[in-house]
């Protein structure tokens, strides 16, 4: 009989260690790993494909619902939620018949939930479980998520060798990993910035100055107070007047290169 691959996700060290030890005592389960935050959880669920996860709801920046919203619905594992008292979450779990552990919980309650989840997994009723989860997440999106804008997520220091070639963006309860080479240009938009990729844009409450700092200077250049471009997408420079140019990008954008930012571009592509 195959052991049930189990992943533990909790940002509190004591709670994480406690659940880990309880899982390790189960003869039906094997511990696939532990995660300290939502970002690690998304990455490990996608790479390890566990059968079952113990998922803390109240995690900073990326909470448990955000984690599940960011996983392919067809790849969702069975879930036992872990939560401190949360009126919305408890009502939602009961309404959608999703199992949860309310902190603090006893070993008996833990193994009751674990045994029920294992039974569902063994009986291959995952389709029913996924329907319940999908219904729960739909309710979360409508009633619980109050996000009106996207935000940048900083990779935690606990992640070894965090990647420098991407931005992590939280938008509408989902986490997007945007490769830098996908970014065409960035536009100042009132108190926000618009990050333009091929098929969409992300609206962030950020400043152009902060974006300049976060992006590699050998790939991105500010050409105007309201524009930062990825030089890989430059197709043409069109003279305008008095030392100014229009920069045409491969997706059809036509942006002004102002004289005050001309040296920025010259430093990357040479004299113009």
Higher pLDDT, 251 or 127: 251
Q: What domains appear along the chain, each with residue ranges and CATH number?
A: 4-143 (3.40.50.2300), 151-269 (2.40.50.1020)
Nearest 5°: CA angle at 268, between 266 and 270?
A: 45
Higher pLDDT, 214 or 23: 23
What is the pTM (predicted TM-score) of this model? 0.72
CA 176 to CA 168: how far, in whole Å? 6
User: What integer is the mean pLDDT of 92-104?
Assistant: 78
Q: Is residue 203 within 8 Å of residue 189, measured between CB atoms?
A: yes
The pLDDT-based confidence of 42 (bands split at 50, 70, 90) is very high
Residues 6+ apart with CB under 8 A from 220: 180, 183, 186, 212, 228, 229, 230, 231
CA 177 to CA 168: how far, in whole Å? 5
Whether pLDDT at 138 is above 80:
no
User: What integer is the mean pLDDT of 189-217?
Assistant: 90
CA atoms within 13 A on the CB side of 169: 23
Packing angle, helices 13-24 and 107-122, rounded to 10? 60
CA 37 to CA 40: how far, in whole Å? 6
User: What integer is the mean pLDDT of 183-203?
Assistant: 91
């Amino acid at each position: 009989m195959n052991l049930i691959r189990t992943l533990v996700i909790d940002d509190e060290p004591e709670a994480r260690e406690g659940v880990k030890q309880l899982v390790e005592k189960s003869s039906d389960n094997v511990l696939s790993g532990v995660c300290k935050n939502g970002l690690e959880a998304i990455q490990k669920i996608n790479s390890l494909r566990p059968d079952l996860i113990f998922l803390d709801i109240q995690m900073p920046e990326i909470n448990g619902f955000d984690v599940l919203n960011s996983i392919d619905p067809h790849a969702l594992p069975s879930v036992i939620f872990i939560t401190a008292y949360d009126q919305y979450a408890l009502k939602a779990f009961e309404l959608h018949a999703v199992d949860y552990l309310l902190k603090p919980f006893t070993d008996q309650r833990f193994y009751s939930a674990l045994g029920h989840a294992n039974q569902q997994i063994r009986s291959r009723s995952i389709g029913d479980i996924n329907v319940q989860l999908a219904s729960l997440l739909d309710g979360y999106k409508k009633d619980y998520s109050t996000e009106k804008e996207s935000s940048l997520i900083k990779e935690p220091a606990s992640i070894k060798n965090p990647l420098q070639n991407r931005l992590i963006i939280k938008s509408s309860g989902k986490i997007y990993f945007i490769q830098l080479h996908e970014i065409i240009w960035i536009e100042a938009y009132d108190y926000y910035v618009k990050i333009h990729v091929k098929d969409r844009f992300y609206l962030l409450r950020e400043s152009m100055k902060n974006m300049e700092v976060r992006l590699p200077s050998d790939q991105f250049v500010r050409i105007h107070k309201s524009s930062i471009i990825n030089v890989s997408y430059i197709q043409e420079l069109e003279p305008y007047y008095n030392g100014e140019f229009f920069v045409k990008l491969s997706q059809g954008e036509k942006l002004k290169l102002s004289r005050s930012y001309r040296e920025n571009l010259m430093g990357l592509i040479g004299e113009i």
